[in-house]
Amino acid sequence: MNPERCVVMKTSKSWPDFRFNLEEIAGAVGDYGTLIPIVLGVAIISHVNLGYILLFFSLWYITTGLYYKMPVPVEPMKAIGVVVIAEGLTKNVIAASGMILGILFLVLGMGKGMKFIQGKVPHSVIRGIQLGLALLLLKTSVSFFLKDYFMALVCIFVVIGFSAAKRAKGIPDISALVILSIGVCVGIYMYGIPPIAVIQLPKIIIPAFKDFLEGFWSLALPQTPLTISNAILATTLLMQDLLHKDVDPDRLSITIGLMNLTSVPFGGFPMCHGAGGLAAQYRFGARTGGSNIVSGFILLPIALFFASSEFVALIPFGVFGALLLFVAVELGKNSLKTDSCTITSIVGLLALIGGITIAFIGGMILTMVLTRMHRKVFMKSSKA
C-alpha cells in the first residue's frame, strides 16, 4: 500500500431519479456563483446578448437533468471566459471557438476517445486538478469578499447556521437559496426593480475564416486541456465520490459537443460540465436530476424577460464570495482521496500558480518521470 495514500471511505446511498424539494431547489442555485460572474463579464465586455446566453444555459440544464437523472453541472467554459473578458473578443470569435470545441468533443465522445484518455491519466493528477480548482475558487472567493465583506460575512453565517441545523435537527440546508434571495432583495432595495427586456429571436452567427483561426488559437486551444481534465475526467471521478454513480466520460464529452453545436451559432456561450459545479450543487442539496430541471426553469424567465446586465448585477458580490467559499471546501475535501499526496499537491499548486492547463501537463510529465525512476530502482534492486 502506498504510504502517501489519503483515502476517505464513504458509505453508499442511492437517490431517486428526480426530486423537487427545497434541497434540490437550493442545490439548483448553488452553481450560480461561477455561472453568473463569468457570463455577466462576457456580456458587458464583448457586448453579446445576455438573454441568448442564459436561454441556452436554461435549455441545457433542463435537458441534462432529464438525460442524466442526476445533478450534472452546465457551466461556461472558464478559460474562454477569462480570455474574452481580458481581450474583449467578438461574438463571432466566441462562436467559432465553440463550434471547434463542439466538433472536437462530439468526435472524441462518439469514438470512445475520452475512455481511452481516462485510462492514461492517473487519479492522482485528476485529484490534483480538483485541488487546484478548489484553490482557484478560494482565490476568487477572497476577491469577492474584499468587494463586499459585510454581505459575505452575513451569507457565511447563514450557511453555517443551516449546516448546524441540518446536523442537529435534520432541517434541509437551503442556505444557497436563502442567501441568493437575500442578495436579490438587497439589490432591488438599493437599485430598484430592473426594466423588463423581452428577448428577440436569435439570428445565426456565421464566423469568417479569420474568426475560426483566432478562435482556435486564442480560445479553443487553452480551453481543451481544461475541459478534458476538469469538465470530464474530474467530474466523472467526483460523481463516483458524491453520488456513487459511474458515468461514462464519453457521454459527458458527447453532451459537451452537442451543447456547443446547438447553442453558440445562435448567440450562446461555449459550455461544458465541471467538477466545481457538481461540488456546488451537491454541497447545497442537489442529489437528483430535479435540481438541474429547477435550475433551468429559474434561468428561463430571466433569459426571456429580464436578461439585462442591470438585473444580474443586482446580486451583491458578497453572495458569490460565500457560495464559492463552501464550494471550494467541498471540492478540496474530495481531492484528498488520492493515491499520491505528493503528486496531487504539486498539481494543485501548479494550477493555482499557472492555471489548469499547465497543471494537467505538468502532472502528466511528473507522473511519467516518477514512474521511470521507480522502474529503474526496481530493476537495480532485482539485479542485486
Check residue 170 and give its pLDDT.
66
Residue owning grid cell 487519479: 123
* pLDDT tens, position by position, 281-323: 998 889 999 999 999 999 999 899 877 767 767 778 888 788 7
Q: Exposed (0-12), middle (13-18) or buried (19+): which is 210, by Cβ within 10 Å?
A: exposed
DSSP class per residue in 67-99: HHSS----EE-HHHHHHHHHHT--HHHHHHHHH
Q: State the Cα–Cα distance between residues 113 and 232, nearest whole angstrom.
A: 12
User: What global pTM score does this model have?
Assistant: 0.79
Q: What are phi and psi of 177, to 5 degrees?
A: -65, -40
Facing residues of 271 across strands?
76
b/e 268-280 (16+ beta carbons within 10 angstroms → b):
bbbbbbbbbbbbb
Check residue 196 and give its pLDDT.
78
* pLDDT tens, position by position, 73-128: 999 998 788 778 767 788 999 999 999 999 999 999 999 999 998 888 888 888 88
Q: Which residues contact 327 (CB under 8 A, 6 or more apart)?
A: 30, 31, 33, 34, 137, 276, 279, 280, 283
pLDDT range class, residue 10, cuts 50, 70, 90: very low
- Helix 275-283 / helix 235-243 crossing angle, nearest 10 deg: 20
Q: State the Cα–Cα distance between residues 229 and 361, nearest whole angstrom.
A: 10
Length of the chain: 384
Rounded alpha-carbon distances, angstroms, from residue 68 to 39, 60, 131? 24, 12, 25
Q: State the Cα–Cα distance between residues 52 and 342, nearest whole angstrom.
A: 44
DSSP class per residue in 283-341: HTT--SHHHHHHHHHHHHHHHHHB-SHHHHTTS-HHHHHHHHHHHHHHHHHHHT-BS-H
Check residue 103 and give its pLDDT.
97
Cα angle value 30/52/194 (rounded, 5°): 70
Check residue 30 and give its pLDDT.
80
Q: State the Cα–Cα distance between residues 225 and 362, nearest whole angstrom.
A: 12
Cα angle value 229/243/256 (rounded, 5°): 40
pLDDT range class, residue 145, cuts 50, 70, 90: confident
Q: Which residues contact 243 (CB under 8 A, 6 or more apart)?
A: 15, 70, 71, 282, 287
Enter the C-alpha cell of residue 364. 502528466
